[in-house]
Chains A and B, each alone.
Chain A
Amino acid sequence: MMIQANPNKPPGAFVVTTMHGRQVSRIAWRYLVPILYLVFLMLPLYWLLNMSFKTNQEALSAFRLWPQDFTLDNYKVVLTDPSWYRGYINSTIYVALNTLISLAVALPAAYAFSRYRFMGDKHLFFWLLTNRMAPPAVFALPFFQFYSAFGLIDTHIAVALAHCLFNVPLAVWILEGFMSRIPREMDETAYIDGYSFPRFFFRIFMPLIRSGIGVTAFFCFMFSWVELLIARTLTVTEAKPIAAIMTRTVSASGVDWGVLTAAGVLTIIPGALVIYFVRNHIAKGFALGRV
């Protein structure tokens, strides 16, 4: 029997020569490493899931590896009680707003950085990047005072704008990388063919960089969805994100672990879905090395 040694694996799939000179591909032991890591990653998540299907009493009383009284009550509470599910809606709204705004301002700016030299361009680019290094803690209070002055506390737009502080530099950086890969000849050809700049940008250029836009949107979503401090500081009740609601669930009788964990699981699902849909582009997006 002939077993084909795969030459395309980077060295690590060690090949053993048997008696007859045939080669047998041994299962690469190195795969154990990512497998162990994945187990490590999934364990706490499993535990979260586990707890979410238990009643609060069961969770606190006995320690079990899987729920004995399997219950969906916790999820019912989260999905039917407006004080819970509104949180998800709020989060989604401001994340979507943020992504749109970030993209809208970053696209022209990235184009400018990619295609032109202008006075102060390097300094501007660098300054933008330093905003990424700003500790949210530093901005918590100033944002609060600033947005209250405009009466924007507890609105979705406030959080969306506040998150732009981190997301816009990121968006510009990523988009510039993608745009620089499109040769300038494209632009010039379009102008010669009579396209006006807006028309060229929307009908020709943007489709070319759509994977870049996708990657950018992904990262904007990522950073905005997960952020808590600013989101909590700027909201009270109307626009409160689910993350903030979760940090407030301590009632007189202590923490309701069941509901809390169910809410937690539900916050992970959007993320998981997004990853699933962009899974083919993840490696490519990171490949630009610009996160």
Chain B
Amino acid sequence: MDRIAHRYPGSASTEMDYALQPLSMVWEDGGAYALLGPSGCGKTTLLNIISGLIMPSEGQVFFGDRDVTGLQPQERNIAQVFQFPVVYDTMTVAQNLEFPLKNRGVPVEARKRRVAEVLELLELSEIAGQKARNLDAATKQKISLGRGLVRTDANAVLFDEPLTVIDPALKWQLRAELKRVHLQVGHTMIYVTHDQTEALTFAEKVIVMLEGRVLQAGTPEELFDAPAHTFVGRFIGSPGMNVLTCDVAGDCAFVSGRKVYLRNNYGLAQGSLELGIRPEYVRVLEQVDCPEGLAVSVVKVVDIGRQKILHLLLGEQQLHAILREGTPVPSSPVVLFDPDHLNLYCDSNLLRPPDRGRYP
């Protein structure tokens, strides 16, 4: 199998009002990527552009050094698994897997061998002779995946929200299998989803999208610690990042009139400013223990077993904090923000301090 890099420079859009804003991206071969975002953000569009089901109205797609923009999907080296399990009802499982090879004129011997290999890999060998029609959704999705893997020329598999129709009980099982297959086979895998858990567990690198734009592409850790956009911060994490409007002067931020010390000096920052802090890094203490903390009032406590999520009010702004199991809720609570995990956002984008490098 050939190792190639997928590169996607240039812009892409499909409608007069751009479904996809101009973007450039490079995908490394063999990697596991996730396209994450709410419905309508353009992730399926992007996926279909890569697979060739949609042609971009601007820009180009390269596989390695090959310009594949004009190529049909079956001429590219990709396979795609759809939200809706697609199996050919009239055929058996084995025949389903054989189908792409048959269409490409692969001789019978080679076909049978390859199908057997993939059946083995996906643990479908027992039902190879059964009609595909009456199987459950999870198995059907595996068959869809199998049809993609069976092609020796395909070295990228694209997934379009494949677990949507699967029972929750089977979801994590299938997820684990996908991961295993990825490790074994080594194909590039691009996974579209709106479920952050899926994205974060499956992918090495997650691309968060919103309204046709790529907000951030990074590892799960990067997305967690340094979200480049307030949306990314709020979307990732459960509960998501707290976003508080503030004013900034130098190395101080003023949130609802209270002072918060920042790690860096931001000078005179202009624009609509917001402070981002994850609930995990909001410490809730008794006022008596921490006089410099910011006074808050408790609106609601949600007990989810291992943790308690506190809904707090700082001035007029809402705030979430997490208390571990067993920790009592302070009677006159104050919060303390861990300065190492404070991010500042200007117009929703992460602000870098003027005298620092790329990361705060």
Contacts and interface: CB of A to CB of B under 8 A. Distances in A.
A4 B55 contact: yes
B120 interface: no
20 contacts: A2-B57, A2-B58, A4-B14, A4-B55, A4-B57, A5-B54, A5-B55, A7-B48, A7-B53, A7-B54, A7-B55, A15-B72, A17-B70, A17-B71, A20-B70, A21-B67, A21-B69, A21-B70, A23-B55, A23-B70
Contacts of B69: 21
A22 B70 contact: yes
A233 B278 CA distance: 84
Contacts of B54: 5, 7
B49 to A, nearest CB: 10
Interface in A1-60: 2, 4-5, 7, 15, 17, 20-23
Interface of B: 14, 48, 53-55, 57-58, 67, 69-72
B220 to A, nearest CB: 32
Contacts of A4: 14, 55, 57
A7 B48 CA distance: 9
Nearest to B58: A2
Nearest to B52: A7
Interface residues of A, number: 10
Contacts of B53: 7
A172 B54 CA distance: 44
Given A4-B14, A23-B70, 12 more contacts: A2-B57, A2-B58, A4-B55, A7-B48, A7-B53, A7-B54, A7-B55, A15-B72, A17-B71, A20-B70, A21-B67, A21-B70
Nearest to A22: B70
Contacts of A5: 54-55
Nearest to B72: A15
A7 B72 CA distance: 10
Contacts of B57: 2, 4
Contacts of B48: 7
B212 to A, nearest CB: 16
A4 B56 CA distance: 8
Interface in A243-264: none
Contacts of A22: 70
Contacts of A23: 55, 70
A57 B219 CA distance: 88
Contacts of A2: 57-58
A5 B67 CA distance: 17
Nearest to A15: B72
B145 to A, nearest CB: 22
Nearest to A20: B70
Nearest to B67: A21
A287 B69 CA distance: 37
Residue of B53, B70, B71 with most chain A CB atoms under a 10 A cut-off: B70
Contacts of B14: 4
Contacts of A15: 72
A7 B71 CA distance: 13
A249 to B, nearest CB: 54
A23 B221 CA distance: 41
A23 B55 CA distance: 8
Contacts of B70: 17, 20-23
Contacts of B67: 21
A177 B297 CA distance: 56
Contacts of B58: 2
B44 to A, nearest CB: 11
Nearest to A5: B55
By Cβ-Cβ distance, the 3 closest A-B pairs, closest first, are A21-B70, A7-B53, A5-B55
A5 B55 CA distance: 6
B76 to A, nearest CB: 13
B35 to A, nearest CB: 18
A199 to B, nearest CB: 38
A18 to B, nearest CB: 8
Nearest to B69: A21
B192 to A, nearest CB: 16
Contacts of B72: 15
Contacts of A21: 67, 69-70
A14 to B, nearest CB: 10
B54, B55, B57, B69, most chain A CB atoms within 10 A: B55
A19 to B, nearest CB: 10
Contacts of A17: 70-71
B182 to A, nearest CB: 27
Contacts of A7: 48, 53-55
Interface string A234-247: 00000000000000
B17 to A, nearest CB: 14
Nearest to B70: A21
Nearest to B59: A2
Contacts of B71: 17
B46 to A, nearest CB: 14
Contacts of B55: 4-5, 7, 23
Nearest to A2: B57
A181 B70 CA distance: 44
Contacts of A20: 70
B75 to A, nearest CB: 9
A7 B14 CA distance: 11
Nearest to B73: A7
A15 B69 CA distance: 13
B277 to A, nearest CB: 43
Among A5, A7, A17, A20: residue with most chain B CB under 10 A: A7
A20 B60 CA distance: 12
A31 B92 CA distance: 34
